Structure 1
Amino acid sequence: MSDPQDVQSMPSAGMESPPPDHGAKPPARRFWTPLQIWVLFLLVLVNISNYLDRGVLAILQEPIKQDLLLADWQLGLISGPAFALLYSISGIPAARIADKLNRVTVLSIAITVWSGMTALCGAASSFAQLALARIGVGAGEGACTPVSHSLVSDHFPPRQRGMALSVLTTSIPIAQLMAPLIGGVVAMQYGWRTAFVVVGLPGILVAVLLRLTLRDPRHDMTNTLVTRKTQGSGKFLDDIKLLTANRSFVWLWFGATFLGQAVGATNVFTASYFLRQYDLTLAQVGAMMAAGLGAAGLIGTFMGGWLADRYAGEYGRSYPFMCAVAATGAGLMFAVVFTSPSWQVALGFLLLANIMGDMKNGPVYAAVQNMSPPHMRSTATAVILIGVIALGTGMGPMIVGLVSDSVAASSFAQSLGDYGMACPGGKPLPAASAEMGLACAQASAAGMRAGLLAACLAYAAAAPCFLMAARTIREPLQKIAAG
């Protein structure tokens, strides 16, 4: 699909022509080329499949919990460690392979794996089977972000990466817009099992389209600049030492990890909170999540990318700084969401929370790419994702689930019995009295509120880490891009 001449003429970190001898900077391209636009379009489709497969679980949690009689800690385990374990483990080898081999082939195989495993989630009849299927989803999706971001960085120069990666990460709010609608409507009409199949199978078609229409510029032998400057990664331990010696990267890693905990927890359990706290239907909450996570997220994503590129300067400190702004604003807004007296007030602040929170989507990964030498960009993203996914997304929902179960049990009227026995799956037994049903509902809502307020503390911890990452940047963008 790509033309070698287009690839050669395009300004990018892996394809830039050397500056003239007199040291003048090459003129920056103002608009994107057709090839750049096509690359982003394909990768947005890939990442929508990625986030849609994992995001649909959040809206399906309550029917799954009631059908399989699960506790909140089990929901947290399925959403967190069960997914994150293989995601993080597979991310490093997938990134190392992608830094050496054809990234388009690697990504096409990965899409096929995670899409097939998502469809298999619909066949689960127990907690163990669902957990195993989610592990399979994580194993496939581990390759997505490192490979996608590496491909973007080979097509866009440093000062275009904030907006380019923001466009790529519009896949997150787009998927968050689609997941509640698909999950809510399909689950109500045909059940939660069918919803997994409907979400999973289209990803296989995306894999075929990617493989047939995109070439890896690094493996286009007519492009000598790309071949010379990105001919392969070094030894793994040497690359890790190079990353950890960069104080800005280390601070960025800690900020991204705390942010991963907060975002993972709020994304997974906000729908459950609205269902429990305000007694809404699944379709109503699906529409609210589509607006809160999807539409608002798109606004924040574009704002963050544009502002970070606009004020990047010579060193690109605006990228981690924008993440600090996003973490601070989102933490404050979510705290209001989870203490609001009505769902109307909560929805208003949910929109603001997601506008603020998603301002970090492009800048955080642009910062990673800008701090990384060309030969190890996939590896650098995979290292960041160990923090974001394994310690962040993997632990955030689990912590919320544990806090929720503990607070729910302690707030349940002891005269009515044990919470776990009286309210399996958060619901009263079929023959229970109205008083018992009300007590179960109140305890379940109180537990979820406490768990999500605890998640807001992770937003507060992320902000100063991002500020330190911005303050400690010492290398100009052009020097890093040149390898």
Structure 2
Amino acid sequence: MTATAEAGGRARWTRYQVFVLAALVLVNGFNYLDRAILNILQEPIKADLALTDTQLGMISGPAFAILYTLASVPIARWAQRGDRTTILSLALAIWSGATAACGAAMSYVHLFVSRLFVGLGEGACSPTSYSLVADYFPARQRGMAMAAISASIPIAGFVAPLAGGFIAHEWGWRWAFVIVGLPGVALAVALKATLRDPRKAGRAAAGEAARPSNFLADIRLLAANRAFVFFFFANAFMGMAISGTNVFTASYFIRQYGMSLREAGVIVALGLGLAGLAGTFLGGFLSDRFAGERGRSYLILPSVGAGLAGCLFLVTFTREIWPVALAFLILANVATDLKNATVLAAAQNMSPDHMRPTTAAVTMIAVTLLGTAIGPLIVGTLSDLTAAREFAGGLGDFAAACPGGRGAGAAAAACAEASAAGMRAGLLAISGVYFAAMTMFGLSAWALKERLN
């Protein structure tokens, strides 16, 4: 099937292709759901464990990204030789169990360690699942195929705040982690029993062994491709900006407009979930439609989306009333998610067949190590510094008077006002990074020379 498709002989998806996509969408849905559930729970966690915004940024950023990054490359190398369905099933069980363990956290350190293991498991998801999609779908089908699997991002962006907000409101933030995490363990067993690796089956039929691959040689091959180098940094800036804005959107609406957790959950579900779903499929359709010989549309669309997102987020975080802010938030997330399918397709299209998992892993290193690890930390740190400046008396007095960002008695109003001002400053600063991503994606499209398969 794969060989026929690569030659352009199959225009329609087979039933098993549809099943593969459905299974991988579900797996990636749990991937992003378990990752994103923390975002809506940050305010009650901050108050319960008396954390700062910087510590929240550390948990959302470096705590997740450290083992994610360290694991992704060796797992990608394993995926180039081993059974990817086994790897993916094992990883799903690890990150789902670690998500449930977050609910038992009694301190900042405990929560940090649990998030490390969420990152460890999820480091296997992208290189294995994206390379499976690339093996099942030819180049000019990958835009919509990647759009389908990327739909898991906005779907999780819709479900996480609604489910997390409701569960936390009814039973507390700890149960939200447990209820979201445990079903992934059962899914891991079902995935192993039903999904097959097409590369393994093809080799068995042909009596072939896995193609040897040298990691340093693969990296040199990618580094020699100017389009991929620009693409790498574009993803780093995009990951930095998106993680910074998305992680703290719920906190911003709670602090700025005095919303409850459930109200903020609805806002985030609309702004990040449904809007992102529209952007994902719009990007996948347009990129396939205008791919041309070199597939530059897979890079031009993210460039346009990043530029629009930067402008729209700057407007979002300066509005006085929440309905206007929500309208611009929705538009901003349609723009950001134009890249969801296109960058995945671009990475696979720029990669030789034998090193697709490694290419996906290197791309995700840009997104996580240089993006997700840094973006939330920038926002959290700037938020704390600005809040301390806004609060009379300086950082020491703010930290003492407003543990967990909340004060008592006469200090309550001043703490709330300072916390809101700090969050706004951090989010405005990170919104400017979208323009750096726009530039890098544009340069990557300009440098692209290789024709599509």
Using structure 1 for the length normalisation, give the TM-score. Answer: 0.92
Structure 1: 5+ residue stretches without partners = 1-6, 18-25, 479-483
Give a deviation string over 1:77-123, Cα, whole Å, max 9, x none: 00000000000110001100001100000000000000000000000
- The answer as to whether partners of 1:117 and 1:134 remain within 8 angstroms in 2 is yes
Match of 1:165 among 127, 143, 146: 146
**Residue 205 (1) aligns with residue 186 (2):** yes
Once the two structures are TM-superposed, the CA of residue 139 in structure 1 deviates from its matched residue by 0.4
> In the alignment, which residue of structure 2 is the partner of 1:3?
none
- Per-residue Cα deviation, 1:272-320 (whole angstroms, up to 9, x for no partner): 0000000011100001111111111110000000000100011111101
Relative to structure 1, is the Cα distance of residues 416 and 77 closer, same or farther in structure 2, using a 3 angstrom cutoff? closer
Give, as a single letter, the amino acid of the residue that structure 1 aligns with 2:300: F
Q: Structure 1 residues 261 and 278, CA, compared in 2 at 3 Å: closer, same or farther?
A: same
* 1:4-403 equivalence runs, <5 A: 7=1, 11=5, 16-17=6-7, 26-27=8-9, 29-221=10-202, 231-403=210-382
* Structure 2 partner of 1:420: 399
User: C-alpha separation between the residues in 1 aligned to 2:405 and 2:123?
Assistant: 33
TM-superposition CA deviations, 1:338-374 (whole Å, max 9, x none): 0011001000111101111111000011100000001
Secondary structure of the 2:100 match is: helix
Deviations 1:258-278 (A, max 9, x none): 000000011100100000000
Moved more, 295-304 or 30-39: 30-39
For the aligned residues, what is the CA RMSD? 1.6
Q: CA–CA distance in 2 between the matches of 1:216 and 1:416? A: 55
Structure 2: how far apart are the matches of 1:221 and 1:343? 55
Question: Cα deviation per residue 1:247-268 (whole Å; 9 max; x = unaligned)?
Answer: 0000000000000000001110
Secondary structure (helix, strand or coil) at the match of 2:222 reads helix
Is 1:407 matched with 2:382? no
Partners of 2:247 and 2:41 lie apart in 1 by: 10
Mapped partners of 2:103, 2:310: distance in 1: 34
Distance 1:209 1:410, change over 3 A: same
1:440 equivalent to 2:419? Answer no
Query: How many positions carry a matched residue from both structures?
Result: 453
Instruction: Work out the CA distance in 2 between the residues paired with 1:373 and 1:304.
Output: 24
CA deviations on 1:204-231 (whole Å, 9 max, x unpaired) are 1221121111110011147758x86x93
- Over 3 Å counting, the alpha-carbon distance change for 1:232 and 1:358 in structure 2 is same
User: Which among 463, 473, 482 is matched to residue 438 of structure 2?
Assistant: 463
Indicate how the Cα distance of structure 1 residues 266 and 415 shifts in structure 2: closer, same or farther if over 3 A, else same.
closer
**Letter in structure 1 aligned against 2:102:** C
Matches of 1:84 and 1:416 in 2, distance apart?
A: 28
Matched-pair contact (CA < 8 Å) for 2:389–2:395: no
For residues 36 and 449 of structure 1, the distance between their equivalents in structure 2, rounded to whole angstroms, comes to: 44
Could you tell me how far 1:386 is from its partner in structure 2? 1.0
CA distance in 2, matches of 1:424, 1:44: 40
Change over 3 Å in CA distance of 1:415–1:235 after alignment to 2: closer
CA contact (8 A) 1:114 1:136 kept: yes
Change (3 A) 1:408 1:416: closer
Give the letter aligned to residue 154 of structure 1.
Answer: D
Give the Å deviation of 1:232.
2.9
Give the secondary-structure state (helix, strand or coil) at the position aligned to 2:295.
coil
Q: 1:160 to 1:65 in 2, by over 3 A?
A: same
Separation in structure 2 between the aligned mates of residue 240 and residue 400 of structure 1, nearest angstrom: 32
Seen in structure 2, the aligned counterparts of structure 1 residues 75 and 326 have a Cα distance that, compared at 3 Å, is same
Structure 2: how far apart are the matches of 1:120 and 1:41? 27
Identity %: 54
Q: 2:202 and 2:56 mapped to 1: Cα distance?
A: 48
1:233·1:376 contact (CA, 8 Å) conserved in 2? no
Structure 2 runs not aligned, ≥5 long: none
CA contact under 8 A between 2:2 and 2:137: conserved in structure 1?
no
| In structure 2, distance between residues paired with 1:209 and 1:326 | 37
**Aligned mates of 2:324, 2:170 — CA distance in 1:** 29
Could you tell me how far apart the structure 2 residues matched to 1:350 and 1:158 are?
Answer: 33
In 2, Cα distance between equivalents of 1:175 and 1:328: 24
1:4 aligns with none
Closer/same/farther in 2, CA of residues 381 and 453 from structure 1, 3 Å limit: same
Greater Rg by CA: 1
What's the TM-score once normalised by structure 2's chain length?
Answer: 0.97
